[in-house]
Amino acid sequence: MPSIVYQVDKKTGIKYAYESTSYWDKEKKQPRSKRRYIGKVDPETGEIIPCRKETAPITEEDAAEIIRLRTAAAEQEKKISLLEAELSKANAALAEQAGRLKEIAKLAKVRE
């Protein structure tokens, strides 16, 4: 989820606004962030004055790709949920077997 970050230029005293998006860097195994310039901040009102550069509108192909990726992500989330449930059942079965193994070990010691 993007957030707005403000940065002040020490030389000029101008305050700039950026859109900051965090992500996980797999190589460095650390969180990182990407920033996109939004504009300057008006010192009197505190409002952001947008930069002149307008972002390109989303094309139909981009929209279709976004929908495809969201659908794929939803399917992956379902798979993850199913695998988590399966893992939980397997862990419960493993705990039960460990309990039975302890009982068998106790009986073996008693018979010796």
For 37-86, the pLDDT digits (tens) are 989 999 889 898 888 766 677 788 888 999 999 999 999 999 999 999 99
In angstroms, the CA 7 to CA 17 distance is 7
Q: What is the dihedral of CA 78, 83, 85, 87, to 10 degrees?
A: -170
Domain edges within the chain: 1-55, 56-112
Tell me what pLDDT residue 100 has: 94
| Global model pTM greater than 0.75 | no
In angstroms, what is the C-alpha Rg of the chain?
28
* pLDDT at position 95 over 70: yes
* pLDDT at position 1 over 80: no
